[in-house]
A and B are shown apart, each in its own frame.
Chain A
Amino acid sequence: MGREADRKLITAERSGMTTKIKNSSRVYFHYITISLRSAMQYRVSFFLMVTGRFLVAFNGILGVYFMFSRFGHVKGYTFGEVLLCFSVIQMDFALAECIGGGFAMFSGIVRQGEFDRILLRPRSAVLQVLGSKFRIDRIGLILQALVMFAYGIAVSPVAWTTGRVMTVLFMLVGGTILFISFFWLRAAFTFFTLEGIEAFNILTYGAKEHGKYPIDIYGKKMLQICTYIIPYTLIQYYPLQYLLGRTDRWYYGLYPFGVAGIVLVCCAVWSFGMRHYQSAGS
């Protein structure tokens, strides 16, 4: 009798959890709909922005192209291989800016008093921040990364297996989550000081820019730093080695899951920051 009641309670609690998640997802998608509608109000300008960003993003690859046309290869990597690496990082970043835009623009949210309004609503602050600033206009960058990726596949001899396809997927998911986490970390620090946040740009924009080359071209020390201090290699270097067939260790493809640790850290800093905000005022 008691067990029956327990089981009912557990299913009730779990369904409480699932309804919560369903509820929150519904609110999140509703936010995205509003973002889309907002963007469509300025159709022409939106289209020009997206096209603009699409074209602008080719600037970077043009630079790499000219370097390769002069030197042929770098530390054993061909142009196609670098293109694959570059496009995955670019896509990670574009997706992170799209989904995590709220964190990237967080100082603006606080400065304009929007965060106070967020605190006045009975929803998780993170959900609201992310939902309200979903950057649909980043689709230009996402498309550009896809084009680069397609070209990279065409130009580089990768022996595609299920494992390798899954690896790319993990790199994308893990990389996106990592970049969003760094935006999150920067947002959390905005609670403490509105200045001096620029240092965090290294983690995001810096990583995007310099992560276009596989990290080992920067040398062994950089490889170590990017493994033990800031885990970029988990989403770029190691899975890439397996992808390009330079190693047989298939488990390198699972390394992106390691970013879960960073997510926990960011969550903690954010909670601490929110409490500080509530005591310091704005």
Chain B
Amino acid sequence: MRACKKYFSFFRLRFNMGLQYRMAAVSGAFTQILWGFMECLAFLAFRQADPAAYPMTVSATVSYVWLREAFFSAFRTWQTDGEVFDSIMDGGIAYELCRPVSVYNMWFVKTVAGRISVATLRSIPLLAVACLLPKPFRLSPPAGPVPFMLFVLTLFLGLGVTVAFCMFTYILAFFTISPQGLRMMFTSMVDFLSGAIIPLPFMPDGVRTFLELLPFAGMFNLPLRIYSGDLTGASMLRGIGLQCFWLVTLLLAGKVLCRAAEHKVVVQGG
């Protein structure tokens, strides 16, 4: 119970920090609204070229774009100015290792808190505006109460998968010297595989089936498609199953790796 309190105070601190930057949030939301708008236009232009080849409905595409923009800050795999990452690079993390708290858990909680805080701030004005836009750019309501609940569930699970994945980048950054160039290549590859560049349904069929098996598809591609009813029935259940599987696997693998690396550092003397 005391451990929970500890983690909660980390959460609260980080959440508060995120709230301070109000102007940044407003202009960030504005930027994203424009960005999403342009993306919708591009998709519509492509649809005009060959409506038969278009793999989703228009409203599903538009919802996908807006939801992705809204929760973008929660799901990015590259860290620009995360407090945790900075502390790793600064070496301030050396103090953290002295505390009686599991490093993995602390990083996890801090990252999740930071992301939820920023995403909450950004997504509310964005989604509000998106609901008020004229058709066909409007964000449509979810496909039903059940899809909506599943959407919320898989959204949080997806955040878990994303953060569990980010743990690996922290661990690698902290315990080894990983050149920024390699990290960049890796995260951009993940971006592509998770559907951040173009949504997975737009990929050629063979490629798509393969990508859906990877953990990256469970980050935000899954919840966003469930929301609009683009993914239903058996394939949806299979997707959720895969997401849970990857969440557990990545968490366990991360913890094991982290402990092994910690052990190595402690034994060697850092």
A residues with a Cβ closer than 8 A to B are: 44-45, 47-53, 55-56, 59-60, 62-63, 66-67, 69-75, 193, 195-199, 201-202, 206, 209-210, 213, 217-219, 222
Q: A195 touching B23 by the CB < 8 A rule? A: yes
Residues of B within 8 A of A69 (CB): 204
CA of A100 to CA of B204, assembled, Å: 39
Q: B204 touching A198 by the CB < 8 A rule? A: no
Query: In the complex, what's the smallest C-beta–C-beta distance from B180 to chain A, in angstroms?
Result: 6
Main secondary structure on B side of the interface with A: helix
Residues of A within 8 A of B182 (CB): 48, 52
Known: A75-B48, A222-B38. 12 other contacts (CB 8 A): A53-B181, A59-B192, A67-B46, A74-B45, A198-B31, A199-B27, A201-B31, A210-B39, A213-B42, A217-B42, A217-B45, A218-B38
A-B contact pairs, 5 of them (CB 8 A): A62-B192, A71-B50, A195-B27, A210-B38, A222-B41
Number of A-B contacts (CB under 8 A): 110
A74-B46 contact in complex given A62-B192, A196-B24, C-beta closer than 8 Å:
yes
Flag whether B234 is at the interface (Cβ < 8 A).
no
A210-B42 contact in complex given A45-B181, A60-B197, A67-B202, C-beta closer than 8 Å:
yes
Q: B181 touching A196 by the CB < 8 A rule? A: no
Partner-binding segment picked from B102-110, B156-164, B165-173, B183-191: B183-191
* B interface, size bucket: 35 or more
Residues of A within 8 A of B41 (CB): 217-219, 222
Query: In the complex, what's the smallest C-beta–C-beta distance from A231 to chain B, in angstroms?
Result: 17
Residues of A within 8 A of B185 (CB): 51-52, 55-56
Residues of B within 8 A of A218 (CB): 38, 41-42, 45
Residues of A within 8 A of B134 (CB): none
CA of A195 to CA of B182, assembled, Å: 31
Q: A62 touching B197 by the CB < 8 A rule? A: yes
Q: B49 touching A71 by the CB < 8 A rule? A: yes
Q: A51 touching B21 by the CB < 8 A rule? A: no
Main secondary structure on A side of the interface with B: helix
CA of A45 to CA of B22, assembled, Å: 36
Q: A196 touching B202 by the CB < 8 A rule? A: no
Q: B202 touching A66 by the CB < 8 A rule? A: yes
6 closest cross-chain pairs (CB), A and B: A48-B181, A52-B181, A196-B23, A199-B27, A195-B23, A63-B197
